Structures are given as structure tokens and as C-alpha cells.
Amino acid sequence: MDSCHRRESAECVGMTVSVCLPALPVLPVLLILPLYLSLQAATRPKRPCPLDTKLAPNNLPTGQLIRCCQMEPTQDPKSPCSHEPRWQRRPEDRPDEILAAALRVFADQGYTRTRIEDVAQRAGVSKGTLYCYFDSKEALFRAMVRKHIVSRLAAFQAKLDTSEASATDLVRSFIAAMWHTLVDDRMVDVTRLIHRELAQFPELARFYSDEVILAARHSLDALIQRGVDRGEFRAVKHGFASRGIQMLIVHAAQLQSFFAAFDPEALTDEQVVEGVTDLLLNGLSARPTTHTP
């Protein structure tokens, strides 16, 4: 073997060191090498370990960045220090949250300008999540109307079918319930949308007519007929009483919501409901008539 030197490498204290050794027989080298490396390590100045982020920057000698993650002990799920959220939204609540958001967005922007992503953002869900429940804007609008109006009409019809209250009291109850739906729940804004935009969407117009306008009219027709049969109400020509109740409530709610701020003699909501109820019930009440137009 010639006199050339060769380089041997070994790992020590987390570092790789290189030494130059003369060309020696293999067995003596293996015996001498550990002692030689120990002497080298003892005499070499101590340098910080490149993985010690307290002493060195977050990079290796080769220039690569490193990321150090401290392992945390597993915590008891029942521990008050657990990182689990204090509450989680249940998936079954999402449809109602989406429909509540849809009501606000449709009321603010109208049907044409409303986008699915607008409703998703207001509801705090992704657009994909919304599509899991409602496959189109039209389906979302229908579900919103059914949730906030049709369901209340169905509840009133169920009450009408089982209640022994007078027809007069039931009319009062209907007026109060519809006023709350229109004004307090902002459905009055949706009625404005319907009057302004649904002519461009005949299928939605038909849906609203069938499930809201006609359904309410049929319930009111049955209620008024009950009052006539009991002698509480008089018969009204052309079945106009049920139509008149709907017209007066909706129009009064729109005037109160949109123009009361500009009325120097504006009434409170309670005064409007009282006036509508008084006018309707006195118009329906059975009494002798002296003139037939």
C-alpha cells in the first residue's frame, strides 16, 4: 500500500468528524482509532449542536431549515385543560342555521342578487356544505319560505282543527301570529321581494301562491265560516273577508316597516295590530244591516 493518506469518518456526540490517518494495517487501525477519536473530541473546542434551537438558528449546516415540535402529554378528555372545544355545532342544526342566514340575505339583497356563497358565508359554512342540504338557490328559497311561513300556517290550521275557542279569538290569534312573522322575523322584506321579483320566476310565484296565499285563504275561509255558523260573523259577499284580512295585514306591515320612520304621526306596532284587529272584527261582526250596497 502506498504512502497516500485516506480519510475515515465516524460519528460522535451528534456530529460527523473527519480525520486523516496514515495508511496502516487494518487491525492496528481498528485498535488505535477509538483512542485517537477520544483524544480529538477532548481537545476540540465544543460547538453547539446544530439541532439545538436554543443555541443555534433553525437551520442545518447545509442551509436547510428545520422545524422542531415539542411533544405534549396526552390529556384526559375529562380534564378541564383539554384542548377539545367547549362546544361543537351539531350537523342536525345546520339546515336551520342556513335557512336563518338565507332569510337575512334574501331580505337584504333580493332574490336575483343573492348568491349561494353569500348565504354560506352568513351561515358560517362552506359553499360545499350548503349544497349538501340545498342543491340550488331555488330550493333554498322554497325551504326558507316553508320554514318561516308555511310551517306557521300549518300550526295555525292544526290549532283551528282542535281548538274550542271562539272564532273571534282565533282571528285575533291569527292576526298576531302573522304580524309577528312579517315584522319581527323580517318576512315583510321577503314579501317586498316577492312583489318585485317573482314575476320573473313564474315557478316560484306559483309555489308561493299555492303554499302561502291560497293556504292562508283556505284556513281563514274555514274560520270565518265557523264564525258565521255560530252567529259571531256575518256572511261576506264573494268570500272577500279572507282576502281582505291578508291584504290588510301584509300592507299594514309593509307601511309600518318601510315608512313609519317618515310618518310624523307614526303608530307603534301594538297600535297597528290593535287597529287592524278592531277594523277586521267589526267588519265581520254579525249585526242587523240597514243598507245593502
Name which of 255, 253, 114 is nearest 186 in CA terms: 253
Per-residue cell: 247: 291584504
Domains of the chain and CATH, by start? 138-284 (1.10.357.10)
Give the chain's residues under pLDDT 50.
Answer: 1-21, 50-88, 289-293
Neighbouring residues of 181: CB distance < 8 A, sequence distance ≥ 6: 148, 149, 152, 187
pLDDT tens string 45-80: 555 554 444 444 444 444 444 444 444 444 444 443
C-alpha 120/C-alpha 80 separation (Å) is 33
In this predicted structure, what is the pLDDT of residue 278? Answer: 94
Q: Within 114-214, where are the H helices?
A: 116-123, 127-133, 137-145, 151-162, 167-179, 187-197, 202-208
Per-residue cell: 113: 342578487
Global confidence as pTM: 0.65
Question: Contact, 19 vs 8, CB < 8 A?
Answer: yes
In this predicted structure, what is the pLDDT of residue 192? Answer: 87
In this predicted structure, what is the pLDDT of residue 181? Answer: 87
Question: Contact, 122 vs 105, CB < 8 A?
Answer: yes
Per-residue cell: 250: 301584509
- Greatest distance between any 2 Cα atoms in the chain: 139
